[in-house]
Amino acid sequence: MVISGCAPVNEVNIYTSRHYDADDILYAEFTKKTGIKVNIISGSGGALMERLKSEGSNSPGDVFFTVDAGNLANFQKGGYLQSIKSQTIKNLVPKELRGENDEWVAVAKRARVIFYNPESVSEEEIKNISYEDLANSNWKNRVVIRSSSNMYNQSLVASLIANLGEANTEIWAKDFVSNFARTPQGNDRSQLMAVANGLADIAIANTYYIGIMLSGKGGEEQKVAASKLKIAFPNQENRGAHVNISGGGILKHSPNRDNAEKFLEFLLSEEAQKHIVNNTFEYPVLEYIDPHPLIAEFGTFKMDKTSVSDFGKYNPSAVKLMDRAGWK
Amino acid sequence: MKKLFKLSFWEIFAASITALFAIPILLILLSLFSGFNDNFAHIYDVVLYEYSLNSFYLVIGVSILVIFIGVITAWLVTNYDFIGKKIFVWALILPLAIPPYILAYVFTEIFDYSGTANNLLRSLNLVSEDYALPNIRTLTGAIIVFSFTLYPYVYLITRVALMSILKPMLDSARVLGLSKLQTFFKVTLPIIRPAILAGTALVAMETLSDFGAVQHFALPTFTTGIFRTWLGMYDLTTAMQLASILLFVICIVLYFERYQRSKQRYSAAGVKSEKLISTKLKGIYSYLAALFCFLPIFFGFVVPVIELITWATAIDNTFNNDFISSSFNTLFLAFLAALITSGIALILNFNARIHAKRSSEEMNNFISMGYAVPGLILAIGITQLLTYIDYILFNTGLIITGSLIGLIFAYVIKSYALSNNVIQSNYKQVSTDIDDSARTLGSNKRKLLFDIHLPLLKTGLLTSFLLVVSEVVKELPATLILRPFNFDTLAVNVYLLASEERMYEAAFPALFIILIGLIPIYFLSKMIDHSRTIDE
């Protein structure tokens, strides 16, 4: 409980929807460096937002740390974030990876790409593939992807709406869903396993999962499975592969505003960026830092520069569209 | 002794508790008056039908299966002697120790493409290398999971009902010329039918309330729909409106269950009955009966526990700081909630007893309905409630929402019925003559409760305490939502890890939950045997 009037503890309260154990090390590093105590409450984006809504101006939250721009945009829309003032941050992060009024900032990137088993997918089929191609009938019963209730998919569809328009995206979605090898279930890792096991030929998942699996962190079975897979970066001939972010923002009623900004700056420091790259296998925001070797070996690729804040804008339409398309 | 006010302290207390308990639900129902927006229209048009259909099939499927398993096993162990019967009698309730979401996680892992089940079949060369058992993450799979973990309710209630059938009843029927079949329909069935239906209704409510299992199976039902609307569409009002629909359905089931329970007629407790003769089964029949009883225990308890132990021991670092702090948090919450709940149940039952007014009993009955409310929905309602209190009482910035009060409140509402049932039935065994004697000897109400009733209710209070502890340890959705900073429970750990498909790491906390879940089973099994042992 936070009671005003007590002796202030030098702390920062982080509401996070990231669920990576590696983050704990980040927080510890931050405390070691700055002496600021880190308090965490974790939950899904929606749960955290509800909490903030109920807490109102009494909320002790300082930072919102999350994956997926959709989450950030929703918080922004709800008025829960305040503008970041730090010039350091603005200098480090390009405009398209920040909120319109700097309500939030990206600290890492991930791409949602196609994983395939080269033994069951020909070079012909996979060459220059695009997300749009996945609706074609030659992929019938060969595609796995997780549930539409997952934010990453909602953002993907939102970006399609931003680029193709809602009507075209809906047509695409219906055909895409009819190509599923099974009803959506499990998380991204589960989709990769399904392809490795021959249940499907291609899976759509985030890039960092292959890093985790190949590293052995998930166990021997996952390592073996991951080594069977290759990555195809979609839409290399036009706009580029769909990129999403991990990011953070300062909460509107933050009681420890300065500490909040310090924390975000810390996440963009070389040290933290390296940690993120090496532990959660994401792509760094700082251009001069290399991604983890396991990820780097899949090559560089063209990244979609669609403004990440569009994901949030089109999120509600995306969810309804996916419902109508029967994407469970 | 004069009463100074029209209402005594006890009545005021009871009324306040009743009002307090009702508020979260009222807040949710209030959303129905906020108007229905686009999102609701979308849900209505596109997915509501599917949610309803799935929920419907789920409940029907589970009900049929639990009646099948629960009634037949109860029948077998009560009326027959066969191999292992003495063990089966109590072992059949073991699956209750495993909450549905844990069984769902375990079964998913076991029946996965590269899971234990398929590996076993392949290694025994029973199937080809490519073969895999049908996917378990389906409606059918969910029905199976819920049935294996919830059938003990039906088993338990049916068994107790069967045991209340006294030999003289059956003898009379025989003397009056009824055949065995006729006896069954005219004597036995009317006694056990309300019990079976009440037990099944309880199972139905548990099924409708579940969130963890159906979410893991990616099964679109009301609970997942409510969660998705809340999270995916960031629309709490519409989510609450959906929740209201679910509450309405649950209400119907609830009233059905209560109606059935009221129809139950047991012989008076403590009456010495002639021992009912169990028919001895011989040969193949004995084995068949044993097999039928063994299978639900095997799939509902033995297999999951063995698998969890295997996974927990396969990785290192299970007994780490996270686990220790989560365990501490879990037990702390559970003990506190159990104390408060038992205390309230005691006072309210005392109140109903000394003011034998209809209204006191009604109040008790009303707030007992809390167990039917899904934890998810309670949590939303309570969050809202606490925010209002915050604003009214503490404008200084005191944050209650960050604290444990809301969470304990949710636990108390959810477990009240359990506590109430236990204490109420214990109270019934305390003859009202005692009250009268005490009064004539000059005891006031407070003395009556604390000096006279309390010692007599020790069993009930202890049982209530332990049952609530086990309920709270298993609880998931409300805890996920209401827990404060840096505060995880074992259930939350299991959920988060399982969602990340890290079952091996979730195994140890899951086992701990099951272990605590075994405590009430010990008492329940005693309850099953009690009437029998009068004569043995």
Number of domains in chain A: 2
User: Do A120 and A214 lie in a common domain?
Assistant: yes
Domain CATH code at residue B236: 1.10.3720.10
> Secondary structure of B224-272 in the HEC alphabet?
HHHHHHHHHCCCHHHHHHHHHHHHHHHHHHHHHHHHHHHCCCCCCCCCC
User: Scanning every residue of chain A, which has its alpha carbon at the shortest distance from the alpha carbon of B484?
Assistant: A41
User: Do A227 and A92 lie in a common domain?
Assistant: no
Mean pLDDT computed over B52-60: 94
User: Do B303 and B164 lie in a common domain?
Assistant: yes
User: Do A187 and A308 lie in a common domain?
Assistant: yes
User: Do B232 and B258 lie in a common domain?
Assistant: yes
Our CA-based measurement puts residue A41 at a distance from the nearest CA of chain B, in whole angstroms, of 5
pLDDT at A250 exceeding the cut of 90 = yes
User: Do B21 and B158 lie in a common domain?
Assistant: no
For residues B525 and B292, what is the distance between their CA atoms, to the nearest angstrom? 19
* CB < 8 Å to A147, chain B: 218
- Which carries the bigger pLDDT value, residue A308 or residue B509? B509
Q: Which of A40, A197, A323 sits opposite B47 (nearest CB)?
A: A323
Mean pLDDT computed over B442-471: 85
Strand, coil or helix: what is B124? coil
The residue from B313, B348, B365 where one domain ends is B313
Is A313 within 8 Å of A73 (Cβ atoms)? yes
Asked if residue B517 belongs to a domain, the reply is no
Asked if residue B513 belongs to a domain, the reply is no
Residue written as token pair 């109508």: A324
For residues B94 and B149, what is the distance between their CA atoms, to the nearest angstrom? 9
User: Do A102 and A126 lie in a common domain?
Assistant: no
Domain of A115 in residue numbering reads as 110-241+304-324
For residues A65 and A260, what is the distance between their CA atoms, to the nearest angstrom? 11
Domain of B200 in residue numbering reads as 48-313
Asked if residue A3 belongs to a domain, the reply is no
Q: What interface predicted TM-score (ipTM) does this complex get?
A: 0.77
Which pair of tokens denotes residue A139?
Answer: 């992929």
pLDDT at B178 exceeding the cut of 60 = yes
Residue B375 class from Cβ within 10 Å (0-12 exposed, 13-18 middle, 19+ buried)?
Answer: buried
State whether residue A137 sits within 8 Å of chain B by CB. Answer: no
Closest CA relative to residue B106, chosen from B143, B127, B151, B137? B137
Q: Amino acid letter at B337?
A: A
State whether residue A128 sits within 8 Å of chain B by CB. Answer: no
Residue B380 dihedral angles phi and psi, to the nearest 5°: -65, -50
> pTM for the whole thing?
0.84
User: Do A178 and A224 lie in a common domain?
Assistant: yes
Residue B403 — very low, low, confident or very high, per pLDDT cuts 50/70/90? low
Query: Any idea of the CA torsion for B347, B348, B353, B358, to the nearest 10 degrees?
Result: 160
Cβ distance A41 to B485 less than 8 Å, yes or no, reads yes
Mean pLDDT computed over B129-153: 88
| Crossing angle of the two packed helices A220-227 and A188-196, in degrees rounded to 10 | 70
pLDDT computed for residue B272 by the predictor = 52
pLDDT computed for residue B290 by the predictor = 94
User: Scanning every residue of chain B, which has its alpha carbon at the shortest distance from the alpha carbon of A18?
Assistant: B496
User: Do A48 and A150 lie in a common domain?
Assistant: no
* CB < 8 Å to A41, chain B: 483-486
Asked if residue B534 belongs to a domain, the reply is no
User: Do A317 and A193 lie in a common domain?
Assistant: yes
Is B482 within 8 Å of B436 (Cβ atoms)? no
Residue B472 dihedral angles phi and psi, to the nearest 5°: -65, -40
Q: Which of the listed ranges A182-186, B271-275, B303-307 does the model predict with the highest average pLDDT?
A: B303-307
Q: Which of B220, B233, B504 sits opposite A316 (nearest CB)?
A: B233
Residues 33-62 of B with CB under 8 A from A: 39, 42, 46-47
- Which carries the bigger pLDDT value, residue B357 or residue A34? A34
Q: Which of A2, A47, A154 sits opposite B481 (nearest CB)?
A: A47
User: Do A177 and A317 lie in a common domain?
Assistant: yes
Which of B8-12, B201-205, B291-295, B493-497 shows the lowest per-residue confidence on average (mean pLDDT)?
Answer: B8-12
pLDDT computed for residue A5 by the predictor = 45
Chain mean pLDDT for chain B: 84
Asked if residue B511 belongs to a domain, the reply is no
State whether residue B489 sits within 8 Å of chain A by CB. Answer: no
pLDDT tens column, B481-499: 788 766 889 999 999 888 8
User: Do B282 and B236 lie in a common domain?
Assistant: yes
Strand A81-82 with A104-116, pairing: unpaired
Which pair of tokens denotes residue B211?
Answer: 């969130």
Cβ distance A51 to B386 less than 8 Å, yes or no, reads no
State whether residue A190 sits within 8 Å of chain B by CB. Answer: yes
User: Scanning every residue of chain B, which has its alpha carbon at the shortest distance from the alpha carbon of A20?
Assistant: B500
The residue from B280, B313, B346 where one domain ends is B313
Residues 366-385 of B with CB under 8 A from A: 380, 383-384
Give residues with Cβ within 8 angstroms of B320, minimum separation 6.
none
Mean pLDDT computed over B220-245: 84
User: Do B184 and B85 lie in a common domain?
Assistant: yes
Give residues with Cβ within 8 angstroms of B69, minimum separation 6.
B147, B151, B154, B155, B296
Is A293 within 8 Å of A140 (Cβ atoms)? no
Asked if residue B143 belongs to a domain, the reply is yes
User: Do A36 and A154 lie in a common domain?
Assistant: no
Closest CA relative to residue B364, chosen from B352, B379, B382, B376? B352
Asked if residue A62 belongs to a domain, the reply is yes
pLDDT computed for residue B493 by the predictor = 92
User: Do B305 and B320 lie in a common domain?
Assistant: no
Residue B258 — very low, low, confident or very high, per pLDDT cuts 50/70/90? confident
User: Do A35 and A149 lie in a common domain?
Assistant: no
User: Do A104 and A148 lie in a common domain?
Assistant: no
Residue B534 — very low, low, confident or very high, per pLDDT cuts 50/70/90? very low
pLDDT tens column, A213-232: 898 877 788 889 899 999 99
Closest CA relative to residue B169, chosen from B273, B263, B280? B273
| DSSP count for chain B of H helices, then E strands | 26, 2
For residues A188 and A210, what is the distance between their CA atoms, to the nearest angstrom? 10
Residue B383 — very low, low, confident or very high, per pLDDT cuts 50/70/90? confident
Q: Which of A1, A78, A184 sits opposite B399 (nearest CB)?
A: A1
pLDDT at A38 exceeding the cut of 70 = yes
The distance between the two most distant Cα atoms of chain B, rounded to a whole number of Å, is: 84
Residue B390 — very low, low, confident or very high, per pLDDT cuts 50/70/90? low
- Which carries the bigger pLDDT value, residue A155 or residue B405? A155
Asked if residue A296 belongs to a domain, the reply is no
Which pair of tokens denotes residue B190?
Answer: 């009317």
Asked if residue B509 belongs to a domain, the reply is no
User: Do B192 and B336 lie in a common domain?
Assistant: no
User: Scanning every residue of chain B, which has its alpha carbon at the shortest distance from the alpha carbon of A195?
Assistant: B113
Residue B276 — very low, low, confident or very high, per pLDDT cuts 50/70/90? low
* CB < 8 Å to A186, chain B: 137, 218, 501
User: Scanning every residue of chain A, which has its alpha carbon at the shortest distance from the alpha carbon of B480?
Assistant: A43
Asked if residue A82 belongs to a domain, the reply is yes
User: Do B322 and B298 lie in a common domain?
Assistant: no
pLDDT at B130 exceeding the cut of 80 = no
Cβ distance B397 to A45 less than 8 Å, yes or no, reads no
- Vertex A26, ends A31 and B402: CA angle to 5°? 70
User: Do A172 and A83 lie in a common domain?
Assistant: no
pLDDT tens column, B58-96: 999 999 999 999 999 999 998 889 989 889 999 999 999
pLDDT at B393 exceeding the cut of 70 = no
- Which carries the bigger pLDDT value, residue B237 or residue B98? B98
Strand A104-116 with A202-206, pairing: antiparallel
pLDDT at B166 exceeding the cut of 90 = no
Which of A74-78, B200-204, B244-248 shows the lowest per-residue confidence on average (mean pLDDT)?
Answer: A74-78
User: Do B282 and B348 lie in a common domain?
Assistant: no
pLDDT computed for residue B530 by the predictor = 59
Asked if residue A15 belongs to a domain, the reply is yes
User: Do B374 and B251 lie in a common domain?
Assistant: no
pLDDT computed for residue B466 by the predictor = 87
Closest CA relative to residue A306, chosen from A170, A102, A111, A74? A111
Cβ distance A187 to B499 less than 8 Å, yes or no, reads yes
What percent of chain B is predicted at pLDDT more than 70?
A: 90
Domain CATH code at residue A137: 3.40.190.10
Asked if residue B520 belongs to a domain, the reply is no
Number of domains in chain B: 2
Q: Amino acid letter at B302?
A: V
Burial per residue of B476-512, b for 16 or more beta-carbon CB atoms within 10 angstroms, e otherwise = bbbbbbbbbbebbbbbbbbbbbbbbbbbbbbbbbbbb
pLDDT at B435 exceeding the cut of 90 = no
pLDDT computed for residue A310 by the predictor = 85
User: Do B262 and B127 lie in a common domain?
Assistant: yes
Cβ distance A56 to B387 less than 8 Å, yes or no, reads yes
For residues B380 and B309, what is the distance between their CA atoms, to the nearest angstrom? 35
For residues A88 and B273, what is the distance between their CA atoms, to the nearest angstrom? 85
User: Do B125 and B221 lie in a common domain?
Assistant: yes
- Which carries the bigger pLDDT value, residue B392 or residue B32? B32
Asked if residue B323 belongs to a domain, the reply is yes
Residue B233 — very low, low, confident or very high, per pLDDT cuts 50/70/90? confident
Cβ distance B401 to A51 less than 8 Å, yes or no, reads yes
DSSP B32-56: GGS---HHHHHIIIIIHHHHHHHHH
